[in-house]
Amino acid sequence: MNALTAAYPRRRHPGAALRAIARAPGVVADALSGRADAARVPDADLTPEEIARYVVASPRANAYLSVEPDLRAFRTGDGLLTWGASRRHAFVAGGVHARGDAARLLTDFRDALAGAGYRKALVFPVAEPERAALREAGFRGLCVGSEAFVDLEGFDLGGKAHADLRQMVNRGTKRYGIEVVEVPRERAAADLAHLYAHWLAARPLEDPMALLIGTPCFDRAAGRRFLAARAGDREAPVAFITLTPGWDGEGYGVDVMAREPGAPAGAMDVLLTGAIRMLQEEGKRVLSLGACPMAERTPIPGPDKPLLRRIFRWLYRSRLGNRLFPFESLARYKDKFDPRWEPVSLSAWPKMNAWTLYVGCRLWGLFGSPPLVRLPGASAALQRPETQG
């Protein structure tokens, strides 16, 4: 732990005991399963800037997860996949970056994993048009949530649909004098690192959702933009977000959303609406507010798994499930923007079942620090962001 994060002691997660119980089956399985030989999977050894050239063209903004540190890159003439692993389980983060035949890229990757001793591979995120290529490569898909999009043309705060958002924005700007500024990349670490460390220490979740939500990457922005909220006479920002580009430069996605525990009410609402207005002025087309795990805001695309769907719905609605992760409150917050919702899926090889979903949730960090291992070719050990330094 570095000096910065040592200054902010962590809160105990309200579901810590539940998380410990949920981790137990995976810990036992790890002890019995042995390890795959990751060195047998070819590594592309790309720089963050080279990977960014792939992901900025992606039809999504959370493809920027591929630029996170400590992932390996698998590349063929058909495209790029970036991945992490836990013993015999591999997880593709950032989706499929196809330049040619996506099914062939996935098949080559699957075969390389199998030859190295991996027993499962998961891919996230998967948009509905991509499921056919994954199915052709032997992956099975399942809708695991919904992603919120703001179509920027014509968006404003008028009307009944935005009444709650408008109220919070007015409160933040008029009562607390909150303003939105873009922080230059070269100033991001100096201006925002303390806020990020403080937010991590204060939030109830022990870890960011690994392979699902990125880190600020202050030292390797690779196209990220940093927007901060300043309030009145306060010298330091009270909240910030990172924006990651996608859609061939026509849109952005919100990744990290960090705020001081004592930030004025409406700070994040002002910040997000400020981002929307800025992107409108730049002529952008879309802003993704990110995925909401387990949320059903669209019809469920088939084929579905009825038993797993019942488990998802219970997790989403139950008090117990929301002690693991704030499923309901996250989706309700994004509802304030009256977004366009689209289904988001997880795909798995060789099959999709309850254990596969458990493995995925564990790699995401739903049950605590994800059990990711260092892979040959990765630049540094996977660490919790607050312990890097």
* pTM listed for this prediction: 0.86
pLDDT at 378 over 70: no
Cβ–Cβ contacts within 10 Å for residue 340, how many?
A: 13
d(C-alpha 38, C-alpha 9), whole Å: 35
Higher pLDDT residue, 372 or 301? Answer: 301
Higher pLDDT residue, 252 or 204? Answer: 252
Cβ–Cβ contacts within 10 Å for residue 283, how many?
A: 9
Q: What is the pLDDT of residues 235-293, one digit of tens each?
A: 899 999 999 999 988 999 999 999 999 999 999 999 999 999 999 999 999 999 999 99
- Cβ neighbours of residue 21 closer than 8 Å, sequence gap 6 or more: none
pLDDT (0 to 100) of residue 376: 56
Confirm if 22 and 357 have CB atoms less than 8 A apart: no
Average confidence (pLDDT) over 355-360: 87
Question: Which whole-number Å values give the CA distances from 39 to 42, 43, 109, 116, 374, in the listed order?
Answer: 7, 8, 14, 8, 11
DSSP H/E element including 125? strand 120-126
Q: What is the pLDDT of residues 216-232, one digit of tens each?
A: 889 888 889 999 999 98
**Domains with residue ranges and CATH for the chain:** 3-147+293-329+341-387 (no CATH), 149-289 (3.40.630.30)
Average confidence (pLDDT) over 15-39: 82
Q: What percent of the chain has pLDDT over 90?
A: 60
Confirm if 121 and 110 have CB atoms less than 8 A apart: yes
- The one-letter amino acid at 147: E
Confirm if 341 and 298 have CB atoms less than 8 A apart: yes
pLDDT at 92 over 60: yes
- Residue 225 corresponds to which tokens in the numbers above? 């933009």
